[in-house]
Amino acid sequence: LRRFIARRGLPRTIISDNASTFKAGNELIQFCFESSHVNEINNFLVNEGITWKFITPLSPWKGGFYERLVGSVKSCLRKTVRKRFVSDDEFSTVVTECEAIVNSRPLTYVSSDVTDANPLRPVDFLHPHANVVPWNLEPDYDPEYRLISSKEQAKNLLDETKKSLAKFWTMWSQMYLTTLQQLHSKMIRKRSSCNEPKIGLVVFIAGETRNRVQWDLGIIIKLHTGEDNIIRSASLRRANGVISKRSVNMLIPLELTVSEEFAATEEIGSSIEQPSEHSK
**Average pLDDT, whole number, for the chain?**
70
Cβ–Cβ < 8 Å for 232, 247: yes
Q: Is the pLDDT of residue 142 over 50?
A: no
Q: Is the pLDDT of residue 224 over 90?
A: yes
The CATH 2.30.30.140 portion of the chain extends over 193-269
* pLDDT tens, residue by residue, 56-99: 654 544 556 677 777 788 888 887 777 777 778 778 888 888 88
Q: Given pLDDT bands bounded at 50, 70 and 90, which one contains residue 46?
A: very low
Q: CATH top-level class for 193-269?
A: mainly beta
89: nearest Cα among 175, 158, 170, 145 = 158
What b/e string do you get for 49-59 counting C-beta neighbours within 10 Å, with b at 16 or more? ebebeebeeee
Q: Given pLDDT bands bounded at 50, 70 and 90, which one contains residue 236?
A: very high
Rounded average pLDDT over 144-164: 63
Give the number of other Cβ atoms within 10 Å of residue 106's Cβ. Answer: 18
Where is average pLDDT lowest: 49-53, 87-91, 124-128? 49-53
Distances (CA, A) of 151 to 88, 137, 154, 159, 202: 19, 21, 5, 13, 46
Name the helix (H) or strand (E) containing 253: strand 251-253
The SS3 of residue 218 is strand
Cβ–Cβ < 8 Å for 90, 157: yes
Which residues neighbour 105 within 8 Å (Cβ) at sequence distance 6 or greater? 121, 122, 176, 215, 255
Percent of the chain exceeding pLDDT 70 equals: 56
Comparing 50 with 92, the larger pLDDT belongs to 92
Q: Given pLDDT bands bounded at 50, 70 and 90, which one contains residue 261?
A: low
Strands 251-253 and 202-205: antiparallel
* pLDDT tens, residue by residue, 3-22: 887 877 878 887 776 555 55
Q: How far apart are CA 15 and CA 221, in angstroms?
A: 39
Q: How far apart are CA 61 and CA 56, in angstroms?
A: 9
pTM of the predicted model over 0.85:
no
Cβ–Cβ < 8 Å for 188, 195: yes
Rounded average pLDDT over 184-204: 70
Where is average pLDDT lowest: 28-37, 55-64, 216-225? 55-64
Rounded average pLDDT over 174-180: 82
- Phi, psi dihedrals of residue 141, rounded to the nearest 5°: -120, 130
Q: Is the pLDDT of residue 190 over 70?
A: no
